[in-house]
Structure 1
Amino acid sequence: MADSSGPRLIFEFEGFKYEIYDTQVLNRDYDTLLLAWRHPIGGSGGRRSRVILKPVQVSSDSERSERVWEEVQLASHLEHPGIAKVYGFASHGNTAYVVMEHLRGCYLLTAMDFALLVERRLSPVFAAYVAAEVAGALGYAHQRISREGHPMHIVHRAVGPMRIRLGFDGRVKLANFGAAYSELRDRLKTPPGLLRGDPAYCAPEVLRAVMESTGSRADPLIGGAIDGRADVFSLGLVLLEMLLAEYPLDPTDTPVEGAPAGFSFPVRAERTTQLSLDVLAYRLLRFHPSEAERRLEFAPGPLRSIVRRALQPDPRERFSAAEMREELLVYLGTVEPPVLADEVAAELKAIFEAAARVKRLTANPIERTALTPDEDEG
């Protein structure tokens, strides 16, 4: 992987020169992400721009290659200010790269980790603002219509703190639809018994569907059995985590029942998790929003109500993403002074300034470049 102090990988692909200058994320639980400059070459003109490259080894895995293409194809249907753009793909040797928009800032997980490091909590209005922006992006994606005029039934499947990008200017973007379900023509089917997306933020109906999947019903999302309300549950968990300042299913000060002897979750996950998959599945399947309400006594009443509805075990009792956004905006409209992007940016900046004063070895974020000054645009 690239290191800002070492030699840079430079290659050309379809009218652009790519110069990889650092590794943004290198962690077994998440996609590897690289920072690169993208230079137009030939007669195309224009300045270089900073992009994120997601590498995928494709030399002996045709499915991975097809999934890269599918991710790029799906992205062509998603044009929304709250969704990180995918510009296409590039290739060098046996590696394909998904080329994605870079937003100067950090991932939500980094902001939460840094806040914890400097003994701060994200404010309720910060959490509500971020959740409202993500809900808006999800609402848009869930309602997309294909160019042939058919509903695409997009489900992100991996909404979590490492797929939410916070800009230092107050913008919020939902990133990485690489694990998304959609009804794109000729899309790859999910094999039976495989849990795609992020298990730590998975809706209970997704877990049950994967457990029940068979060879004759190879994809649990076929036929509308699961819809965008699964993403609402995931976002509800993220909102709860922002408010609690810890992952809700693994609290530090409250004993949580582990999986009992004999409980087995007969599914394999595409992603690793800190908790064992058996324990995680057991806790998710038993989780009830009353637990969240009990632990949110300090939070504003409207946010407690929003979390409760978003985390209903029965998806029919949850919000749609658009409804969740509206409720969050209603709450934000009651706050004085009004919550604007500038206020959110100022809170994020204060957290970063405090974290920067902590020794680097103590601040060891998953986002390795979080405290590294950006290279000049040039």
Structure 2
Amino acid sequence: MSEPTDSGGPSSQLDFESGNHRYSIQRPLVSHPDYDTLLLASRQHVRGGPLKRVILKPILLGNERELRTRALEEVSLSRSLRHPNIARVLGSAFNEEMAYVVMDMGHGHFLLSIMDAATSVGGKLSQGFAAYVAAEVAEALDHAHRAVDDEGRPLHLVHRAVGPMRIRLGHNGRVQLTNFGAAWSELMGRIPTPLGILRGDPAYTAPEILRGFEKPEAGQRDPLTPRALDGRADIFSLGLVLLEMLLARYPLDPPDRLWLDIEQRFPPEVRGERPSSLLPLSILANRVLHFGPEEVRLATGALPEPLRHIVTRALRPEPAERYQTAGQMRDALRGFLQETGQHPYGAKQAKAEVKQLFDQASDLDKLPAYSIVEIGALPVPPDMYLEDLDELDD
């Protein structure tokens, strides 16, 4: 089956010119209802020169004017986020139909695809890998949480969407946090999120964002944006990602009776920014709200005590009981690696571990390995080609 030539996104205009560059959309990188659509494209200056491979992220929330404004906002925000652990935003692009954020396309894979590869070979990511990746993301968050605008004013930025599809590992083992499009900040002039819309990834949302419907604060304009929202919400999200890497399964979807009779605390009428193809937002939200110390204790029972302590503290329901800065969580994770003799576990070791996983998962004689989110990360099994041909015959 040939590689798709359609963009797979909301725009049918595959080649267009914007500003000083020409763009040619090649294929989808991510086309999944739970995540932002991402398109692989090439970019070249209108006066000629080398082609550069980039990622285009279509902006979907808002009317035509808001689409352009939101794209420009994300680019403006990125100027305050210059850090090697944060993926670069190159600018914005517009055609007659769509607004795009243009992002750097480094060689590598999203963390979710790496976790898929580990599952495909029946294994788990090593504890060293999990601690290293989480520490590098915490480093990126610490920088983002301290960011200031062009006038030196604190932005009080919160990513709000930390999850395996916003963390990317390069082929060189470098970890980068991506996609600040759902971020909350005090950047002047930003378009507010519509009331009752949950930005970011509901599967990794911190409980304080959801509790606004139970106990709204005085003067709280939006139940999903607490007045005291700060970077500690991202620490909870990162704690869930860390636990998922260690368990090789999503922590709030265990194969037992934990969630059969939970009290419904989150209203079903609240909508996510995009519909989930897995579970309704209300079910995910209620699981987060009930993921307390006892549930964390049961989930972390097989972990070594130092690592268990880090995960437990990151996942405390109350922000005041978590790490107070992402830098504190980073230091704890790096301390764990050093104390357990896994230091240095760094980019070189991560690169080797990921390469071994993908080498094993790509052997179609042994494994039906494929990625349903990051297109092309893992090969499509032969039986799926046959299914595609059957559908074409129909």
- Fold similarity call, TM over 0.5: yes
Aligned partner (choices 302, 311, 320) of residue 298 of structure 1: 302
Answer whether contact 1:127 1:242 (CA < 8 A) is retained.
Answer: yes
Aligned to 1:309: 313
Aligned to 1:375: none
Aligned partner (choices 272, 279, 282) of residue 278 of structure 1: 282
Matching of residue 66 in structure 1 with residue 65 in structure 2: no
Report how far residue 337 of structure 1 moved.
5.8
Query: Distance in 2 between the 1:363 and 1:222 partners?
Result: 37
Report how far residue 66 of structure 1 moved.
2.1
TM-score normalised by the chain length of structure 1: 0.90
Q: Which moved more, 1:61-70 or 1:302-311?
A: 61-70
Answer whether contact 2:208 2:226 (CA < 8 A) is retained.
Answer: no
Q: Which moved more, 1:263-272 or 1:281-290?
A: 263-272
Aligned to 2:221: 218
Question: What amino acid does structure 1 have at the position aligned with 2:242?
Answer: L
Q: 1:358 to 1:251 in 2, by over 3 A?
A: farther
Matching of residue 30 in structure 1 with residue 41 in structure 2: no
Aligned partner (choices 18, 27, 34) of residue 13 of structure 1: 18
Answer whether contact 1:197 1:271 (CA < 8 A) is retained.
Answer: no
Aligned partner (choices 330, 349, 369) of residue 325 of structure 1: 330
Answer whether contact 2:106 2:170 (CA < 8 A) is retained.
Answer: yes
Q: Which runs of 5+ in 2 are unaligned?
A: 8-13, 380-394
Answer whether contact 1:259 1:278 (CA < 8 A) is retained.
Answer: no
Listed as ranges, the matches of 1:99-248 within 5 Å are 99-209=102-212, 217-219=220-222, 224-248=227-251
Report how far residue 292 of structure 1 moved.
2.5
Query: Distance in 1 between the 2:238 and 2:111 partners?
Result: 12
Aligned partner (choices 347, 361, 369) of residue 355 of structure 1: 361
Report how far residue 269 of structure 1 moved.
1.3
Aligned partner (choices 343, 350, 362) of residue 349 of structure 2: 343
Answer whether contact 1:179 1:197 (CA < 8 A) is retained.
Answer: yes
Aligned-residue RMSD, C-alpha: 2.6
Answer whether contact 2:115 2:125 (CA < 8 A) is retained.
Answer: yes
Query: Distance in 1 between the 2:137 and 2:162 partners?
Result: 9
Query: Distance in 1 between the 2:345 and 2:5 partners?
Result: 42
Answer whether contact 1:193 1:213 (CA < 8 A) is retained.
Answer: no
Query: Distance in 2 between the 1:262 and 1:143 partners?
Result: 33
Q: Which moved more, 1:146-155 or 1:189-198?
A: 189-198
Report how far residue 298 of structure 1 moved.
2.6
Answer whether contact 1:195 1:210 (CA < 8 A) is retained.
Answer: no
Answer whether contact 2:56 2:101 (CA < 8 A) is retained.
Answer: yes
Query: Distance in 2 between the 1:306 and 1:61 partners?
Result: 45
What SS does the corresponding residue of 1:161 show, helix, strand or coil? coil
Q: Which moved more, 1:59-68 or 1:179-188?
A: 59-68
Q: 1:211 to 1:91 in 2, by over 3 A?
A: farther
Q: 1:258 to 1:112 in 2, by over 3 A?
A: farther
Q: 1:206 to 1:261 in 2, by over 3 A?
A: closer
TM-score normalised by the chain length of structure 2: 0.86
Query: Distance in 1 between the 2:261 and 2:95 partners?
Result: 45
Aligned to 1:376: none
Q: 1:87 to 1:220 in 2, by over 3 A?
A: farther
Q: 1:253 to 1:347 in 2, by over 3 A?
A: farther
Q: Which runs of 5+ in 1 are unaligned?
A: 373-378
Deviations 1:173-196 (A, max 9, x none): 000000000001111222332211
Deviations 1:88-141 (A, max 9, x none): 111122111110011211111111111111101000010000000000000000
Query: Distance in 2 between the 1:135 and 1:199 partners?
Result: 20
Deviations 1:294-330 (A, max 9, x none): 2323322211100000000110011121100010111
Aligned to 1:287: 291
Aligned residue pair count: 369
What SS does the corresponding residue of 1:327 show, helix, strand or coil? helix
Q: Percent identity?
A: 49
Query: Distance in 2 between the 1:205 and 1:26 partners?
Result: 30
Report how far residue 362 of structure 1 moved.
4.7
Q: 1:137 to 1:258 in 2, by over 3 A?
A: farther
Deviations 1:145-199 (A, max 9, x none): 2222211000000000000001111000000000000001111222332211111
Q: 1:199 to 1:218 in 2, by over 3 A?
A: same
Question: What amino acid does structure 1 have at the position aligned with 2:294?
Answer: S
Report how far residue 259 of structure 1 moved.
4.6
Report how far residue 62 of structure 1 moved.
3.0
